[in-house]
Structure 1
Amino acid sequence: MSYLICFTTTRSKQDRFKVQCQILEDKIIGAVHHGELEELAYLLLSLIIWPFDKTLYRKVNYYLAYASWCQFTSVGQWWAGCECVLHMDPEERRHLAREHMMVIMNHKYEIDWLMAWILAERIRMLGTTKIYGKKVLQLIPLIGWAWWFTESLFLKRDWTKDKQIIQEGVRTAVEYPDNYWVTLLLFPEGTRLTNQKLENSHIVAKEKGYPIMKHHLLPRPKGFAYSIQELKGKLNAVYDATVVFDDGYPSLMDVLHGKKIMSRIRARRYEVKDLPDSEEELSEWLRNLFKEKDDVVEKFYQTKELDRPGFRIPKRYNDLVMHIFWIIVTLVPLLFYLVNVLFYGSLLHKAVIVLVFVLVNLLAKFMIGFTQLEKGSAYGKVITKKKAE
């Protein structure tokens, strides 16, 4: 109301503009960058709905998560023209988007996660995709916070604490209602592949008599084994997904620059009830699975072929429409604001705007840095005494 009174009593154009700027400045933090609007919505949901109705919270959260994450898939699919071909047995493929699942992925590339998200978007499971991730990931602005609000599993690499986190995380995953099918995305290698980590992985494998792999690190089986033990009788299937690219090692910067990328995901479905029961047997099963992954990747590099029929799941327009909506909602007010600052704003005002853009640019580079191979976690770089034993 005070804004309205002030606006109607000011006479000059410059004064009216100042009032408009005050209004916009009060709204700019929450309205210009829709990601912050979503984080505010997550927070309100947590405070208002979560204590009384967790099922309703998760249903609403599905759409909030989709509204945020689909912009990554929109940039990948519609801006860069990325394509993802699913290589999978037709009989197994019919189970997709009809059950909760754990997906075991390799972590050889910078954007393997994006290809998984593109596939999840096409089968309508993007909004309920959860990750097993290191704790630091939840600190990433916007996307990390969204992972936290959507109940992803953030591990501390302290088994005493991680055991409880996994137990609670997998329990909540299977509590989601039907038609809100959850994907638990697990990268058992624990970090992205680099030459140094691969060499160290070979040393440990030789010492312990494990399979030697050319394209993958030894998987960390403890969290996987415990998850399966907790999920038996609650989850139907585990999906093995191996991502490969037709050309080189694409990066997130390639996607942002509009480079068309062709990816392929070779997938298999395993019934949880058919998996071993003990931690030792599950660990061996996982290592053998990764050896199979490695053989698949090696053969693909040599022949450009996979051992499952390829299927292109059609793109949907949902992520594109959502992206355009947010562009209109956020960029139109922002452009109006910037043009007015350019012509009527004070020098201090303009300096603040420049500073904000610099900070946003630095934040974007910081977030992209998390995807770069050379900036992966330190896990696997050093062989500790404990690992070598």
Structure 2
Amino acid sequence: MIHTLRTTLLGSLTCLLLAVNTLFWCSLLFMLALPKWVLPKAWGRKRIDPVLNGIATRWIAWNSRWIGLIQRAPWDVEGVENLRYAGWYLVNCNHQSWVDIFVLQRVLNRRIPMLKFFLKQQLIYVPVIGLAWWALDFPFMKRHSRAALRKRPELRLEDRETTRRACEKFRAVPTSVMNFAEGTRITPEKHQASSSPYRHLLKPKAGAMAMALNAMGTKFESLIDVTIVYPDGVPSFWEFASGQAGRIVVRVRQVPIPPEFVTSDYTADSAFRSAFHRWLSSMWKDKDEQIDQIQATHR
């Protein structure tokens, strides 16, 4: 009873702090987003985007403070020592929970440029946060069913054009483009339905990553591959907010991007598609084995 009361109070206080922190920093974002929208695009991006990113970085830093206070279990993080807070990166990670985003932000904030996520179109309507994502140029992607794509193949071009436009914006200011290659959070049901060949992962989707590489050209310095493991079980947001997430293990490594990957067309070049799928599948196989090893070590 006392434990339940304690976690309820802690979770409620944490959510309140998160809301207050979000409203404070978002109000500053919105004040600058309007002039950016009105001013000429090139001038506005070059001068205002770094300020907007700086505000978001401080927003994340304050979130990381309360995360540090409530998460008593130790974080086991390796591979961030040689990251550089400059340049452009493509970041990839396995996806298990909304908690992944807080973990990524805490581990990578101020070590590399700010993470920009590809988001579902519907998320733009989330109160306050949706508008903040828009102000920070997070790309919103429309998700089409397989049936819709079979009926109207031209819909594939919409996401390609969205990716191209987003990456054109990212070229002006150092950015880390974040991609969950699985496309969704893994669950036992999704894992079984997808007939995934991996024990701990869904099959990776190559399209968004390949299009980002093609759109950014040689801007990307490397791929930052992140693996997150929750040895005590994947936490929900409430468990995370109330200090019940347990141990969190993060492994980060930089992977060189083959030069030919930034000049080839994923949609038109079948040989490149095959080579890219093999490259990504090999990375996923290594990630799956790494998760096995981490779980065995922390069991």
Which amino acid counterpart does residue 182 of structure 1 have in structure 2?
Answer: T
Matching residue of 1:46:
33
Give the Cα separation in 2 of the matches to 1:234 and 1:143.
28
Structure-1-length-normalised TM-score? 0.60
Contact 2:72–2:243 (Cα < 8 Å) also in 1: yes
**Equivalent of residue 185 in structure 2, options 185, 192, 199:** 192
Q: Which runs of 5+ in 2 are unaligned?
A: 1-18, 144-154, 265-271
* Cα deviation digits, residues 63-100 of structure 1 (max 9, x gap): 32134333432221123346543322x8xx42432332
Which amino acid counterpart does residue 244 of structure 1 have in structure 2?
Answer: V
Matching residue of 1:175:
172
SS in 2 for 1:272: coil
Matching residue of 2:194:
201
Contact 1:222–1:283 (Cα < 8 Å) also in 2: no
Matching residue of 2:119:
133
**1:155, distance to aligned residue in structure 2 (A):** 0.8
Which amino acid counterpart does residue 227 of structure 1 have in structure 2?
Answer: A
Matching residue of 2:233:
248
Matching residue of 1:145:
131
**1:268, distance to aligned residue in structure 2 (A):** 1.9
- Larger deviation, residues 43-52 vs 106-115: 43-52
Q: Which runs of 5+ in 1 are unaligned?
A: 1-31, 206-211, 306-389
Superposition pairs of residues 1-389 of structure 1, within 5 angstroms? 33=20, 35-36=22-23, 38-50=25-37, 51-52=39-40, 53-81=44-72, 83-88=74-79, 93-121=81-109, 123=111, 125=113, 128-157=114-143, 158-176=155-173, 181-202=174-195, 212-259=197-244, 261-274=246-259, 276=261, 277=264, 278-304=272-298
Fraction of identical pairs, as percent: 20
SS in 2 for 1:232: helix
* Cα deviation digits, residues 324-346 of structure 1 (max 9, x gap): xxxxxxxxxxxxxxxxxxxxxxx
Give the Cα separation in 2 of the matches to 1:122 and 1:234.
19
**1:114, distance to aligned residue in structure 2 (A):** 1.2
**1:265, distance to aligned residue in structure 2 (A):** 1.6
Contact 1:84–1:118 (Cα < 8 Å) also in 2: no
Matching residue of 1:360:
none
Contact 1:233–1:273 (Cα < 8 Å) also in 2: no
Structure-2-length-normalised TM-score? 0.77
**1:254, distance to aligned residue in structure 2 (A):** 1.9
Contact 1:75–1:255 (Cα < 8 Å) also in 2: no
Give the Cα separation in 1 of the matches to 2:297 and 2:216.
37
Give the Cα separation in 1 of the matches to 2:177 and 2:103.
15
Contact 2:60–2:109 (Cα < 8 Å) also in 1: no
Work out the number of aligned pairs and report it: 257
**1:282, distance to aligned residue in structure 2 (A):** 1.3
Residues 77 and 34 from structure 1, CA distance in 2 versus in 1: closer, same or farther, beyond 3 angstroms?
closer
SS in 2 for 1:102: strand
SS in 1 for 2:118: strand
Contact 1:102–1:183 (Cα < 8 Å) also in 2: yes
Give the Cα separation in 2 of the matches to 1:72 and 1:45.
21
**1:131, distance to aligned residue in structure 2 (A):** 0.3
* Cα deviation digits, residues 152-199 of structure 1 (max 9, x gap): 1211024221111111112221310xxxx4221110111101111101
**Max Rg structure:** 1
Residues 273 and 256 from structure 1, CA distance in 2 versus in 1: closer, same or farther, beyond 3 angstroms?
same
Give the Cα separation in 1 of the matches to 2:112 and 2:219.
22
Give the Cα separation in 2 of the matches to 1:171 and 1:83.
39
